[in-house]
Chain A
Amino acid sequence: MFDDPGLNSLAVTLLTIVAVLGGILGTCTYLILLERKLSAWMQDRVGPNRVGPFGVLQPIADGIKFLLKEDVIPDHVDKVLYIVAPTISVFTTMLAFSVVPFGPVDQAPEWLRFIIAPNMDLGLVFIFAVTSLAVYGIILGGWASNNKYSALGSLRASAQVVSYEIPLGMSILGIALLHGTMNLETMLTDQAASGVMGWNIWYQPLAGLIFFTAALAESNRLPFDLAECEQELVGGFHTEYSSMKFALFFIGEYTHVITTSFLVSVLFFGGWHFPYIAEASSAYAGAWAVKLLVLAAKVLLCIVLVMLLRWTIPRFRFDQLMGLAWKVLIPLALANVVLVMCVLQFGWSHWWLTAGSVLLFIAAGVIGVNASRSEIMGRHQVRATGFSPAVPPG
């Protein structure tokens, strides 16, 4: 575009940022419609169908309503933090997207780059650093609202998000070891170069499961939406929020879901790679568009899975939630890292990783069933004697 390479790269960066922002915001609004339609379908309802054919204009009507509604700031809130909290929520999740490659970076047209910050050696660590700040939005929102339900919601959220960061980070250590880098672009091109059998999900299925679960918990969605569960806390940390500030919290949540789905696709499912139509070597005209669509399809599948999970698995109890993070996910992730280290150190075939992951999964299942059986037996004992065995007499 421009002769000066510096100016050109600046222009391309700005254009990419504009494209990403527009894309994410547009996708967010239509994801809300998709979620409402899917919920309706799963609950045998009709769902939104009044605005436009099949309700496709519903998100636009919602957006206009969010912008035009009266912006209520309650009297008893801490005004500065009350206003800052939703912006932190959006800002951090948007910032995390800057190192995610959303297309074939090496085949990008010269006016677009498919990644905002290329060649970031830090890659995944940057994403974890930025998303670890997202909890401030929830905590401050809950505290500034000066409302007991909001405060309870944000207390739950801070414990939950800080706990689930650990399995989230540990689950991808194995992949980082296998690829020898934290750079998302390199991980993606490595997988694409070795074909469909090079996708990380074959070697790290357990890590994929842990990552997906922990990321779901990080984004505060059902079955992990303890921070805002309506039956217990009215609306949790956003009880006191209305109009666009409320919408900002939800844009933050949906952006988090989108980023997570991109990460799952790029880290575990080969990114834009698909056999025959989008190989690493395919360079036919418009190949970049096909690769973009392949990645978009994978991301969409992942998002739909997240939305279907919402009405499939009931919400966890808070102690179950903490138990899942500390007693299940973290030990499994640690064992997975040790497994990867052994395989790399002794130069075994990578298929041992698959076998080891399955074995670990089965072992965790057996231990879990035994533990819950003994717990249930303990409960029967309590009922029989009317006396808890956990409390020593006297």
Chain B
Amino acid sequence: MNWLQQNGWQAAALVLMALGICALMPRARTRSRTLGLLLAFAGTAIALWLLPTPAGLIAHSVLFWLFAASAILCGVLMITSRNPVYAALWFALVTLATCGLFLLQQAAFLAAATIIVYAGAIIVTFLFVIMLAQQAGATAYDQHSHHVVLASVGAFVLFGALLATLRSDAWPAARPPEEAAVIEPALAQNGLSRTHGADGKMQSLGRSLFGDYLYAVELAGTVLLVASIGAIAIAPRRSQGTL
């Protein structure tokens, strides 16, 4: 009971959003989307009322709301659109909006790299495959989603866990005042970011990547190399003489 008093509204918001998304998902037969939209908006409104609003420069706030709102909206449109090509394009817009949020957090290089890798290459490959696979128009089984309830419940349980973690008091604002004085206000508010030479410059990013996280970077690079060698080894049909 105590838990419900503390977290009831949050749970209600999550349930409403999950129901709304469930109702919005494309099904085998078309029907009105009003109910789903209403539920999703109600849940989002409660969540907005619960979550602390960012404080800072007016330009920062406006940009934050712009990017965040378009990321969420495009995300919903991505999973609810009937046409795979449109879904891929909404995904590209989600990536761009998220990159805008990265920029607001002084992570310019991360934003640019994400655009190059995701929006510029991976989604282009998706489109490539979709266009090759669907020359005769979209097939019936591509037009509605499968396991709607299971997917919604799973996603929103994960989302709730993430929110609960973010809102818990396990993250003290343990930032020494001399460090908090030099970094940007948008960064200082973020209790989870541990900045390192926080000037947002590429030099400090490089020093961090190839100094503090050298083993992780090398390990990731090796894994990617192994994966690409594996892909090259699997891809060609040997009987046809390539490789």
Interface residues of A (CB under 8 A from B): 81, 121-122, 125-126, 128-130, 132-133, 135-136, 139-140, 143, 151, 154-155, 158-159, 161-162, 165, 169, 181-182, 388, 390-392
- Which of these, B111, B124, B202, B241, contacts A162 with CB under 8 Å? B124
Q: Which residues of B contact A151 (CB under 8 A)?
A: 131, 135
Q: Which residues of B contact A391 (CB under 8 A)?
A: 240-241
Q: In the docked arrangement, what's the CA distance between A143 and B133, Å?
A: 12
Q: Is the CB of A133 within 8 A of B85?
A: no
Number of interface residues of B (CB under 8 A): 25
Q: Which residues of B contact A130 (CB under 8 A)?
A: 115
Q: Is the CB of A122 within 8 A of B108?
A: yes
* Interchain residue pairs with CB less than 8 A apart (16): A121-B200, A122-B108, A122-B109, A129-B111, A129-B115, A129-B120, A132-B119, A132-B120, A133-B120, A139-B124, A143-B131, A155-B132, A162-B121, A181-B202, A388-B241, A391-B240
Residue ID in chain B nearest A182 by CB atoms = B202
| B112 CB-CB contact with A under 8 Å | yes
Once A135-B120, A151-B135, A162-B124 are accepted as A-B contacts, the answer to whether A390 and B115 lie under 8 Å apart by CB is: no
Q: In the docked arrangement, what's the CA distance between A155 and B130, Å?
A: 11
Main secondary structure of the interface of A (DSSP, over half): helix
Q: Which residues of B contact A154 (CB under 8 A)?
A: 131
Once A155-B131, A165-B121 are accepted as A-B contacts, the answer to whether A125 and B113 lie under 8 Å apart by CB is: yes
Q: Is the CB of B124 within 8 A of A135?
A: yes
Known contacts A125-B113, A161-B124; 11 further A-B pairs (Cβ under 8 A): A81-B85, A122-B108, A125-B112, A133-B119, A135-B120, A136-B92, A151-B131, A162-B120, A162-B121, A162-B124, A388-B241
- Which of these, B92, B121, B241, contacts A392 with CB under 8 Å? B241
Q: Is the CB of B116 within 8 A of A165?
A: yes
Q: Is the CB of B128 within 8 A of A159?
A: yes
Q: Which residues of A contact B240 (CB under 8 A)?
A: 391
Q: In the docked arrangement, what's the CA distance between A143 and B113, Å?
A: 27
Residue ID in chain A nearest B137 by CB atoms = A146
| B125 CB-CB contact with A under 8 Å | yes
